[in-house]
Structures are given as C-alpha cells and as structure tokens.
C-alpha cells in the first residue's frame, strides 16, 4: 500500500511534466495538422534556459529561492516561446502549402539543429543543478517503507494544475481561444472573417513552447541534471501521451500525460526500471494500431 502510494505520487509528478509537453504537440497538430517533431527540443532548450536563468537570478539577486525561481520561470517561458515562434517562422510557415511530408522533414531537421546547437553551446556533458527546493513530508510510515511527498512534487503538480486551468480558460472562453479553435476547424473560413491566421498559428506555437519551457524547468529541478539529449525521449513520451489522449484534443493531452506518467512510474516500481521506456512505446504502438483517435479524440469524419 505504501509502495503503491509512493509510485502514485511519482507518477502524478511525471505525468504533469509530460502533460505540459503534450499540449504543445496536440495544439500544433490541431491547428496545422502537423506533428512538430522539434517540440521535444524546444523543451530541452527550456531546460537549459531555465538552468542558466536560475543560476543568473541567484547570482544577481542573491538570497531568496522563491524570487529566483519566479524570475527563472518567467525568463524561461519568454525565451523558449521566442524559440518556438522562430522555428515556426523559419522552418514551417514557408512550407504551409507544401505536401505534408515537407514540414515533417523540416521538423526533424530543426530537431537535429537544436540538439547540436545545445551540444556545441553547452557541451556534451550533463549539467547538474544542486537541489533547489528541498524537503517535504512523510505521508505514511510503515516498518521498512516511508511514503514521501516533497515540496517540489507539490510545486510541480500545483503549477501544472494552475497552468492547465488558465490555459483551458484561454482556449474555451476568450476571443483569442475562439479564433484559435476557428482556425483549427477551418483556416480559410477564419481568414474570411478577418482573422489573421498566420498570427494565430504563431501564437499557438508560442503557447506550446511556453508550456514546454515550464516542463523543462520542472525537470531541471526534479532530476537535477540535464543534457542536450533529453528532448528526444521526453518528446516521444509526450507525443505518445498526446496520441493516447487523442491528438488534437486538449483535455486528451492532459489525460494522456497523466496516464503515461503513471504507467511509467508503476511499471518501474513493479516490473522493471530498465524497461520503463518499452512500456511507453508499447502503448504508442497499441494505440496507433487499435485506437488511432485516442481516448478523447474524435474520428476524422465530420458532419458538415
């Protein structure tokens, strides 16, 4: 029981991080019908930027961890969003009318470029960050096992919940979100109503990148080490989460992220930690084979 609870806590934390990344995949897919394979790299950049920003904030500001974290969070979201915007402008927009394969290849290219750029700029070795948010409390204690809930885990899950709530509100309730949904459903019609669809697509990339940036910051804090290669695996897992939830569906991405996090945690806890990635990829294959529309996705056919 205690062990189960601990895996649940770990899984929720992990799931929050995957969910944040998965939203970027699902939104971009929804609006331009393309899998942005460079999104994992955007998250990796977010992790690096957060590390640098946090170190800079503590050096300059001194003292308060909370203030440094806040500064790092905002700086990371801003700078990573700028990367997301640039990638769309440079690598995808010129290919908007090209065959579907072209932007996909371009995305893989961007992904390689960003990986190598980070490797050159930051070195190939892992970058450590000493624990920033320490402590927590013990939820339950039996003879040989204690269930720990750290402040950091609480911070990660809470921040994710808040971001997702804000995000859902923007998409469902504001005029910007309405324009995004309209562009997603019929881009040409949206432009016939005076919507600048290029701007809407840009904003979508910016939002997805900003959320991936937060995930990058969380991972830096949670694991304490990052390297230029983390985007690949996290990217594929978040992509799996998006597909599992139903690509194009926002609640689906959140649910998928949570499920992937939980599955990974329980799999590592009860079966084999070495094969934890196999579980995720097994799910990806199964979903693609048996339910390509995912849990909350809708079938492609529409009554028009």
Partner 1 sequence: MLKIEGLCAGYGRIQALHGIDLDVPEGEIVTLVGANGAGKTTLLMSICGAPHASAGRVLLDGEDITHLPTHQIIRRGLAHSPEGRRIFPRMSVLENLQMGAAQSDPRHFDQDLERVLALFPRLHERLTQRGGTLSGGEQQMLAIGRALMSRPRVLLLDEPSLGLAPLVVRHIFEIIAAINREQKVTVFLVEQNAFHALKLAHRGHVMVNGKIALSGTGAELLANPEIRAHYLEGGTHGETAS
Residues found near partner 1 in the complex (CB under 8 A): 175, 178-179, 181-182, 185-186, 188-197, 302-304
Who contacts 281 (Cβ-Cβ below 8 Å, separation ≥6)? 236, 240
Judged by beta carbon, residue 143 or residue 300, the one nearer partner 1 is 300
Separation of alpha carbons 178 and 172, rounded Å: 7
In angstroms, give the least distance from the CB of 199 to partner 1: 9
225 neighbors 126 (Cβ within 8 angstroms): yes
Other Cβ atoms less than 10 A from the Cβ of 138: the count is 9
Judged by beta carbon, residue 64 or residue 185, the one nearer partner 1 is 185
User: Helices 151-173 and 250-270 meet at what angle, rounded to 10?
Assistant: 160
In angstroms, give the least distance from the CB of 171 to partner 1: 12
In angstroms, give the least distance from the CB of 162 to partner 1: 26
Q: Which of 189, 188, 192, 171 is nearest to 180 (CA)?
A: 171
In angstroms, give the least distance from the CB of 181 to partner 1: 6
Judged by beta carbon, residue 252 or residue 261, the one nearer partner 1 is 252
The structure tokens listed for 247 are 């690509």
Who contacts 106 (Cβ-Cβ below 8 Å, separation ≥6)? 91, 92, 95
Residues, the chain, total? Answer: 304
Separation of alpha carbons 172 and 251, rounded Å: 12
Judged by beta carbon, residue 127 or residue 178, the one nearer partner 1 is 178
In angstroms, give the least distance from the CB of 209 to partner 1: 24
Region label for 108, one of left (φ > 0), alpha (ψ between -120 and 50) or beta (otherwise): alpha
The structure tokens listed for 60 are 């300059």
Judged by beta carbon, residue 101 or residue 303, the one nearer partner 1 is 303
Judged by beta carbon, residue 105 or residue 176, the one nearer partner 1 is 176
Judged by beta carbon, residue 178 or residue 276, the one nearer partner 1 is 178
208 neighbors 24 (Cβ within 8 angstroms): yes
Separation of alpha carbons 65 and 154, rounded Å: 16
CA atoms within 13 A on the CB side of 11: 22
In angstroms, give the least distance from the CB of 291 to partner 1: 20
Judged by beta carbon, residue 10 or residue 180, the one nearer partner 1 is 180
20 neighbors 257 (Cβ within 8 angstroms): yes
In angstroms, give the least distance from the CB of 253 to partner 1: 17
In angstroms, give the least distance from the CB of 299 to partner 1: 13
């Amino acid at each position: 029981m205690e062990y189960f609870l601990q895996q649940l806590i770990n899984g929720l934390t992990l799931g929050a991080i995957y969910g944040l990344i998965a939203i970027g995949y699902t939104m971009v897919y929804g609006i331009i019908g393309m899998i942005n394979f460079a999104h994992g790299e955007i998250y990796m950049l977010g992790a690096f930027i957060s590390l640098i920003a946090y170190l800079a904030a503590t050096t300059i500001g001194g003292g308060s961890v909370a203030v440094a974290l806040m500064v790092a969070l905002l700086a990371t979201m801003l700078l990573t969003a700028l990367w997301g915007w640039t990638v769309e402008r440079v690598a995808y927009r010129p290919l908007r009318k090209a065959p579907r394969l072209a932007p996909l290849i371009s995305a893989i290219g961007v992904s390689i470029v960003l990986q190598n750029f980070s490797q050159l700029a930051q070195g190939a070795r892992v970058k450590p960050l000493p624990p920033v948010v320490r402590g927590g409390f013990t939820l339950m204690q039996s003879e040989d096992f204690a269930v720990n809930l750290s402040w950091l885990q609480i911070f990660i899950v809470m921040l994710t919940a808040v971001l997702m709530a804000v995000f859902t509100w923007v998409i469902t309730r504001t005029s910007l979100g309405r324009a995004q949904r309209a562009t997603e459903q019929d881009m040409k019609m949206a432009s016939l109503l005076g919507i600048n669809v290029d701007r809407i697509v840009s904003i979508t990339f910016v939002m997805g990148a900003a959320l991936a940036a937060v995930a990058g910051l969380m991972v830096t804090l949670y694991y304490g080490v990052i390297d230029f290669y983390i985007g690949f695996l996290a990217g594929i897992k978040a992509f799996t989460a998006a597909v599992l939830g139903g690509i194009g569906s926002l609640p689906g991405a959140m649910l998928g992220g949570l499920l992937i996090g939980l599955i990974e945690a329980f799999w590592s806890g009860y079966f084999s930690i070495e094969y934890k990635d196999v579980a995720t990829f097994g799910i990806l294959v199964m979903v693609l084979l048996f339910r390509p529309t995912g849990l909350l996705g809708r079938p492609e056919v529409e009554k028009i």
